[in-house]
Structure 1
Amino acid sequence: MSTRGILNAAAGRGKFSLSRYEPSPPLQPFVEHYWIVRYDLNAETPFTQTVLSYPNVHLAFEHDHEGRRAFLYGIPRRPFVRELSGAGRVFGVRFRAGGFYPFWQRNVSLLTGTTVAASELFGRDADEWTSVILDAGDDAEMARQAELALSTRLPRRDPQAELAGRIVQETMNDRSIMKVEQLSELTGLSIRQMQRLFRKYVGVTPKWVIKRFRLQEAAEHLEQDESAQWAELATQFGYFDQAHFIKDFKSVLGQTPAAYKSRISAE
């Protein structure tokens, strides 16, 4: 199971469990996967996990010492930080890039950087779903109950939303893509058309997506390769020079690659 985007994932493995389940065929155009995080830190100090998020909207059903709740999480503009304390669990639905729009039917960028109650979209059903999913027992049954719930709201597929999703997937897979102009050439869309498409269906700009995927890879590489050299990493991830790479890394993660490497080595 990939942990890309979960910063210092090795430290997190000792603090929480993570499992994932695939959606059924009818929901696959909209949902990438379901995920479940469980943790029990009652005998330990709180643990802070930082995630360099993908360009995906999430629907999360949460249960901890503060109670139960269901939220829609738009794409965070900055790294997502969550402190885990006590015992708890979260069941999440990760929508595909573009896959949330058919449910939402509004500009997805309106959610970017925000968290709203799930009831804003799903009404009273959100409260019922929270109980049914969190009371389901094991992880597989939670995923099954989520499938049943979302199937009652199954929207029509949207060709433009799926086009946006394919472009995001191509950007993730092809690390040579470093500029919006390259996506424009690949898709035949103008830069302005691309920006409008992403704003409406994904929630962030093409430039944001490109930078995020490259920096996710870089952070993962720094964690796994003790001999990583900045100049080599910069070239590997499509940067023309080391200074540009360091500047982008610091602008998103708040520290230089060297400082990040030192911190995770010490933990």
Structure 2
Amino acid sequence: MRFVARKPSPALAPYVARLWCYESGALTHTRERIVPTGGMQLLVNLHEDELRWWDGAGLDRAHRMHGAGMQGIYDRPFAIDTIEQRAIAGVSFAPGGAWAFCGVPASALARDHVPLDALWARDGATLRERLLEAYARGEVLRELERVLLARLSIDRLGRDLDVHGAVRALHDGMTVRALTDALGSSEKRFVRAFVARVGVTPKRYARVLRFQRVLARVAELERVEWARIAAECGYYDQSHLVHEFRELSGLTPSAYVPRLPEEPNHVVLG
């Protein structure tokens, strides 16, 4: 397994968290459950010209498209094909950052994967070929950054919203009403701008952030006490945590076993 990541250039830093490339040999399992992270990603399969994923209550509804696409924000689980992980390059966007490259509100991509040519036309259709050439030269992340710099378009969509500040406040447990008061904005206007930039409502996003805090806390502990984690992460009680955990991941807390400790959002399906 080989994972290479780099921070973006200063021009991209407000919108991009990192650029990355992942390579692995054949895995013993064929599919993985992906739990919600609150993020959006650009994905390019360098192993084959296809992206495959499954959603639905049983993760049994199959989808496929060409090998370059945009993954919208998810607030429920989906499954991926591990064959794609033989060689895949991607961009993990900062909260609210993908809008600067998509040309559509983030809400239009929520809970879905969208072919890149549907968003970027010819540039999207040819991106995989460009990255394959760069991959052969060992320059795939540099080429990916060049593409993003050329696509960067800052328009008025949600321009008046401090997404990073709003996300930090939600992460710290501030309510939407308190946040809108602090921003001097009406709740309706704030929610509309947030959904356009991030893809889901601030309340839904805050639930995903809280769920991610649970996963981070679990990774730190040798012995997990769910009642204690519920209290630490802002749930009413353990039953509230269990309900939220099941709704967001499709699993009970006791059934959650990540593929690796450093990959808490990937759960082996078989």
State the TM bucket, normalised to the shorter chain.
Answer: 0.7 to 0.9
Query: Matches of residues 1-267 of structure 1 in structure 2 within 5 Å?
Result: 16-41=1-26, 44-65=27-48, 69-85=67-83, 88-137=86-135, 141-156=139-154, 160=159, 163-172=162-171, 174=172, 176-177=173-174, 179-260=175-256
Q: Tell me the amino acid that sits aligned with residue 255 of structure 2.
A: A
Query: What is the Cα-based RMSD across aligned positions, in Å?
Result: 2.9
Q: Deviations over 1:26-45 (max 9, x none)?
A: 1222222112221210xx53
* Amino acid in the other structure paired with 1:164: V
Q: Offset of 1:205 from its aligned partner?
A: 0.9
Quickly say closer, same or farther: Cα 1:115–1:226, change in 2 above 3 A.
same
Counterpart-to-counterpart distance in 1, 2:147 and 2:84:
29
Q: Could you tell me whether the CA contact under 8 Å between 2:44 and 2:128 is conserved in 1?
A: yes
2:105 partner letter:
N
Q: 1:13 aligns to what?
A: none
In structure 2, list runs of 5 or more residues that go unmatched: 51-65, 262-267
1:210, distance to aligned residue in structure 2 (A): 0.8
The TM-score with structure 2 as length reference comes to: 0.79
Q: 1:133-175 CA distances to partner (integer Å, 9 max, x unpaired)?
A: 2232379721110111222222136562651243124433x2x
Return closer, same or farther for 1:52/1:262 CA change in 2, 3 Å cut-off. Answer: closer
**In structure 2, how many angstroms separate the alpha carbons of the residues matched to 1:219 and 1:87?**
23
8 Å CA contact retained: 1:36, 1:139: no
Q: Distance in 1 between matches of 2:126 and 2:84?
A: 25
Residues 140 and 101 of structure 1: CA distance in aligned 2, closer, same or farther (over 3 Å): same
Any gaps of 5 or more consecutive residues in structure 1?
A: 1-15
Cα deviations across residues 107-130 of structure 1 (Å, max 9, x unaligned)?
221111121111112111223321
| Secondary structure of 1:56 counterpart | coil
Structure possessing the higher relative contact order (Cα contacts under 8 Å, 6 or more residues apart): 2
Superposition TM-score, scaled by structure 1 size: 0.79
Distance in 1 of aligned mates of 2:77 and 2:85: 23
| Further displaced range: 244-253 or 49-58 | 49-58
Give me the whole-angstrom Cα distance separating, in 2, the residues matched to 1:104 and 1:261.
34
The one-letter amino acid of 2:15's match is: F
